[in-house]
Amino acid sequence: MGRQLKFVAGIAIILGTVGFLVWTAVDQTKMYMITVSEFLGAGEAYANSTVRIAGKVAPGSMKWTAETRELEFTVIDMAGQPGEVRVHYTGLLPDMFAEDRNVVVEGPYSKASPFEARAVLTSCPSKYQAEDGKPS
């Protein structure tokens, strides 16, 4: 009976440890995607945490410095709600990145302005169009 009890206790410890590690990993990496209006309306709720903000690149807002690979741009709400988030990003941009395109910016939020993005993600357009503007 003693040997069986040790075996069950060992399995319980292993399962408990694995469960704790999985829970910790998920807790540290989970991020909700929020809209620009949700982000601006939350006030201090996202301070000192990593957030993903979904929006659209405002036309005429991009300032790209090729030598340093730095980009500043403004993200506006996709649904047309008021408000905007100024974003600073250093690094390579996705091929599909352009003005008036849907974008997700991810990074740690502090009260500093602009928002310092670690990652910039874009989505493909729902319809591809030829250069003459007609669907291809």
CA dihedral 24, 28, 32, 34 (to 10 degrees): 160
**Do residues 53 and 105 make contact, with C-beta atoms less than 8 angstroms apart?**
yes
- Give first-to-last CA distance, the chain, whole Å: 73
Q: Quick one: 31-122 is in which CATH superfamily?
A: Nucleic acid-binding proteins (2.40.50.140)
User: Where in the chain are the domains?
Assistant: 1-30, 31-122
pLDDT of the residue at 131: 65
Question: Which position has the higher pLDDT, 33 or 124?
Answer: 33
The string of pLDDT tens digits covering residues 8-67 is 889 999 999 998 888 877 765 666 788 999 888 887 788 878 889 999 999 999 999 988
State if pTM tops 0.75.
no
Residue 104 has pLDDT above 90, yes or no: yes
Question: How high is the pLDDT of residue 41?
Answer: 87
pLDDT tier for residue 132 given thresholds of 50, 70 and 90: low
